[in-house]
């Protein structure tokens, strides 16, 4: 039985290994591509997220639909952070949590989608971002207590 490498150290050893500097350079190039293409990527992926969430809201017990929402949110979150948009990434992380709960709260999921749409605007003032995230956090905390 052949085991797969488990650590980066294991992955960079052996006959097909590449130098770490090469891997870092490739990673930097990939991150640069994500940054330069993010503006084109974001609207379509947000639309996919909205459709997946609407589908989940129509079938809240469907694990595959829940997984689709979480997967798209994770993809958007990682791309957002790589593209230098950590504020959007933070809201998407919260959306992942909301969509992944055992009992789906439709209002909280919709609220997350609305905040994601607002925060996806790179020109959103910091004060508006802070207000939106504080309001979202209060709403989530209130629902978690109920």
Tens digit of each residue's pLDDT (9 = 90 or more) over 8-29: 666 667 777 777 777 777 777 7
Give the whole-angstrom CA distance, residue 58 versus residue 41: 26
The answer to whether residue 16 sits within a structural domain is no
pLDDT (0 to 100) of residue 106: 93
Contact 146, 139 (CB under 8 A): no
Helical residues (DSSP H) of the chain, grouped into ranges = 8-11, 20-58, 63-82, 86-100, 106-119, 126-145
- Residue 74 inside a domain? The answer is yes
Asked if residue 13 is part of any domain, the answer here is no
| Residue 1 located in a structural domain | no
Instruction: Give CA separation, 99 vs 17, 36, 118, 126, 130, in Å.
Output: 39, 29, 19, 26, 22
Tokens 């650590």: give the residue: 7
In the predicted model, what is the mean pLDDT of residues 96-125?
92
Alpha-carbon radius of gyration of the chain? 18
Are the C-beta atoms of residues 101 and 122 closer than 8 Å to each other?
no
Give the count of domains, the chain.
1
Least confidently predicted of 17-21, 79-83, 106-110: 17-21
Residue 44: other Cβ atoms inside 10 A: 9
Residue at 41 is within a domain: yes
* Domain assignment present for 6: no
Q: Does 91 or 16 have the greater pLDDT score?
A: 91
> What confidence score (pLDDT) does residue 69 get?
96
Asked whether the beta carbons of 98 and 110 are under 8 A apart, the reply is no
The model carries a pTM of 0.78
Domain that holds residue 53: 21-145
Residue 60 has pLDDT above 80, yes or no: yes
Residue 90 lies in a domain: yes
Render the burial of 26-41: b for 16+ CB within 10 Å, e for the rest.
eeeeeeeebeeebeeb
Residue 4 belongs to some domain of the structure: no
């Amino acid at each position: 039985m052949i085991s797969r490498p488990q650590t980066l150290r294991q992955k960079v050893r052996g006959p097909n290994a590449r130098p770490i500097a090469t891997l870092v350079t490739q990673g930097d190039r990939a991150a640069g591509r994500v940054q330069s293409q993010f503006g084109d990527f974001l609207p379509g992926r947000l639309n996919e997220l909205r459709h997946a969430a609407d589908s989940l809201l129509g079938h809240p017990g469907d694990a595959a639909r829940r997984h689709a929402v979480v997967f798209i949110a994770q993809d958007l979150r990682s791309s957002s952070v790589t593209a230098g948009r950590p504020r959007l990434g933070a809201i998407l992380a919260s959306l992942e949590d909301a969509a992944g709960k055992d009992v789906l709260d439709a209002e909280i999921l919709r609220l997350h989608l609305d905040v994601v749409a607002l925060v996806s605007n790179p020109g959103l003032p910091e004060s508006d971002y802070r207000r939106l995230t504080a309001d979202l956090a209060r709403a989530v905390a209130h629902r978690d207590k109920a």
